[in-house]
Amino acid sequence: MTLHVDIDLSAFERNVAKLVNTAAPADVWIALKSHAYGHGMTELADNALRAGATGLAVLDIPAAVSLRAHGVTATLFAWLHGQETDFAEAVAQGIDIGVSTLDQLDAVAEAGRVQKVPARVHLKVDTGLHRNGFAESDWIAACSAAADHERFESIVVVGVWSHLADASEEADRIALSRFDTAIAAAESVGLKPSIRHIAASAAGFTNADARYDVVRFGILAYGVSPFSESSGQQLGLSPVMSLRSTAEEHDEATVLIHAGWHDGIPQNPQGAWVLVGGERCTITAVHPLFTLAERPAGFDDGSSVGIIGHGGPSAEDWASWTNTIGDEIVTGIPVTSRRVFGG
Amino acid sequence: MQLTVAIHVERKHTCVFEFSLVNCSSAPTTPLLFATLFSQLRLSGTTSQIAFAPSTVPNSPRRRVEFSADALRDNLRRLTAVGSRSLVIDLRCDAYGYGASWVRAAAELEGCDRFLTDDNPLEPIPPTTGELFGLSIGRPVATLIGEIVAVKSITSGESVSYGYTWTAQRTTQLALVSLGYADGVPRSGSNVASAQIGGASVPVVGRIAMDQLVLDVTNCSVVVGDNALFWSHPDEIAVWAGSATRDPLSLVAGLSWRVEREWIAE
């Protein structure tokens, strides 16, 4: 292994516990989608629950089924479905299913009818993000159709949910108002959704009005900030993923680090540095299998290099050097780099 | 002929590796493909060519990359016609995600016998490597496929995705695609890059998210379940590579475990 990927489980549990404390009395679900943001889904599930999360948000049904097989009995929430998604397995496994279209609603209800277990449905309303979710104009019809299915006990609408755009306080306020309207409309046709959720990390951390019954925390649980003005550490959270490698002499002016863009090191970073043998050294080039940096004074071959953590930069630093967000940095570390879980 | 091999590896959890050879009817090449298949298996700990999924459940929504054996052969023939035996085939980084065993086998069929492997990390990338995979000229070997999981209409003045960075100037039909930057689709393509649906070029609108992106499909006819194709044109590849801020070879090399790999031969 040329790139060492360390996952600090204690830091993860501390972050989750802090978020649980912040969101109370709302419950907390931890987003473990995308291989737990590149950290390791099955490995982190138990830690999230032990630290006080009551559910896990995993994106799609294959991921949810995989966690059930791993022995997770807590609420598992899956909401991105394809035409060939097998809802029968999801219903049999008691997975909470996000529903965004009438076709999905019918398919989920059919699965519940066949399995003779009401499918646990969270109806999604589009409050302005314009990705998934029923349009406001289709919402009443969707709720009425769901209420019909409920009468036949093929589904139970346990939740109403949405996503915020994090565009501005004003945009979020408008979205929350639309969300309130949608909840009232759902209740007006007889639905009793007890799990209302719209906030993810940004709104869940800063806006008590957005928390409702559950906050779905993602990036903050990994100790990385969703805010451009402050790092995860400044928010009192600890980075969970760290990356290190080793360096050897390349020439008089540069050292060669044994990790490159094929290991997930972002290309063409502007003003980037890493910690080589305790000194900050500017990166001069990122190649597929290695990275070059300025040679520090008194360099020894085999020196340790902090790429993320270990005294080196943060995921947020890499994000600012490559004009992106920390989420893309941590999810970009390929699964072929073995994670070492400790802490 | 379609072949699927599933191998269960007991480690922390069960892994399933699946291969599909679609329409592979040509008898002489079949043993070769089997040979490369099984040589690939021995590399399973380090290769990225193998589809990796943490469960036995079918991948849904669809996220797939298709590799065209014909396109690779055509590109190889064009390159060997120019440089013949001096051509060096770069197999490092699992042939940049295309699959070192597959690429080596195809190159050997065209008479190539000079290869660069991970044992030579410092060697510069041969300039023909991008052409080999059709990233600049030639036929693109890889096509990334995402499933359209939702279609909706919005009115003028409404915005799309995080930060509301794109706002409709007219009534607009949107398609939500099940690919995001966690799959290896660069977030830098937000609002600038495009995809193909049914032969039409459709722009990405709004920020690309971790697992999803949105296309403006006002000018084409789409339904839920259709495929959106990415990286199937060299011009589009250049934009996805951030207009030279990253190597086009890093696109396929950076596709995540969630994307199924499939080689297609006629």
Structure confidence at residue B84 (pLDDT): 59
> Which residue blocks in chain B are alpha helix, DSSP H?
29-42, 69-83, 92-96, 100-109, 129-132, 234-240, 249-253
Q: How far apart are CA A220 and CA B213, in angstroms?
A: 22
Out of B46, B53, B258, the one facing A336 most closely (by C-beta) is B46
* Interface contact A285, partner B, CB < 8 A: no
**Residues whose CB falls within 8 Å of the CB of residue B151, separated by 6 or more in sequence, listed in order:** B173, B174, B175, B176, B217, B222, B223, B224
Residues of B in contact with A267 (CB under 8 A): 245-247, 250
Q: How far apart are CA B123 and CA B44, in angstroms?
A: 25
Percentage of residues in chain B having pLDDT higher than 70: 77
Residues A135 and B152: beta-carbon distance below 8 Å: yes
Identify the residue among B10, B48, B49, B57 best suited for mutation to test binding to A, counting A beta carbons within 10 A and taking the highest.
Answer: B57
Residues of B in contact with A335 (CB under 8 A): 52, 256-257
Identify the residue among A262, A324, A325, A333 best suited for mutation to test binding to B, counting B beta carbons within 10 A and taking the highest.
Answer: A262
Q: What is the mean pLDDT of residues A287-310?
A: 96
Q: How far apart are CA A275 and CA A322, in angstroms?
A: 18
Confidence class of residue A155 from pLDDT cuts 50, 70 and 90?
Answer: very high
Q: What is the mean pLDDT of residues B30-35?
A: 38
Q: What is the mean pLDDT of residues A139-145?
A: 98
Phi, psi of A58 (to 5 degrees): -120, 10
Task: Say whether the ipTM exceeds 0.95.
Answer: yes
DSSP state of A241: E
Collapsing DSSP states into helix, strand and coil, what is residue A154?
coil
Out of A84, A129, A261, the one facing B60 most closely (by C-beta) is A84
- Nearest residue to A1 via CA among A262, A210, A202, A312: A262
* Interface contact A136, partner B, CB < 8 A: no
Structure confidence at residue B83 (pLDDT): 64
Cβ–Cβ below 8 Å for B61 and A267: no
Out of A69, A287, A331, the one facing B182 most closely (by C-beta) is A331
Chain A, nearest residue to B96 by Cα:
A262
Give residue-wise pLDDT tens across range B171-203.
999 999 999 999 999 999 999 999 999 999 999
Q: How far apart are CA B163 and CA B167, in angstroms?
A: 11
Structure confidence at residue B59 (pLDDT): 67
Identify the residue among B149, B172, B188, B261 best suited for mutation to test binding to A, counting A beta carbons within 10 A and taking the highest.
Answer: B149
Q: How far apart are CA B157 and CA A174, in angstroms?
A: 14
Q: What is the mean pLDDT of residues B206-231?
A: 97
Q: What is the mean pLDDT of residues B6-34?
A: 35
* Interface contact A85, partner B, CB < 8 A: yes
Cβ–Cβ below 8 Å for A323 and B182: no
Structure confidence at residue B69 (pLDDT): 96
Q: Is A138 exposed, middle or buried (0-12, 13-18, 19+ CB in 10 A)?
A: middle
Cβ–Cβ below 8 Å for B122 and A70: no
- State the average pLDDT for chain B: 82
Chain A, nearest residue to B93 by Cα:
A262
Confidence class of residue A21 from pLDDT cuts 50, 70 and 90?
Answer: very high
Residues B88 and B115: beta-carbon distance below 8 Å: yes
Q: How far apart are CA B134 and CA B140, in angstroms?
A: 4
Confidence class of residue B82 from pLDDT cuts 50, 70 and 90?
Answer: confident
Q: Is B100 exposed, middle or buried (0-12, 13-18, 19+ CB in 10 A)?
A: buried
Q: Which two tokens stand for residue B189?
A: 């393509």
Instruction: From residue B246, give the alpha-carbon distance in Å to each of A177, A287, B186.
Output: 42, 10, 10
Give residue-wise pLDDT tens across range B222-255.
999 999 999 999 899 999 998 779 999 999 999 9
Give residue-wise pLDDT tens across range A245-284.
999 999 999 999 999 999 999 999 999 999 999 999 999 9
pLDDT exceeds 50 at position B17:
no
Q: What is the mean pLDDT of residues B26-34?
A: 35
- State the average pLDDT for chain A: 97
pLDDT exceeds 70 at position B41:
no
Sign of CA pseudo-dihedral A122, A20, A219, B162: positive
Q: Count other Cβ atoms within 10 Å, centred on residue B124.
A: 9
Cβ–Cβ below 8 Å for A131 and B187: no
pLDDT exceeds 50 at position B32:
no
List B263's β-bridge partners, or say none: B21, B67
Pairwise pLDDT comparison (B252 vs B56), residue with the higher score: B252
Cβ–Cβ below 8 Å for A335 and B256: yes
* Interface contact A331, partner B, CB < 8 A: yes
Window from A28-37, A102-111, A249-258, B22-31 with minimum mean pLDDT: B22-31
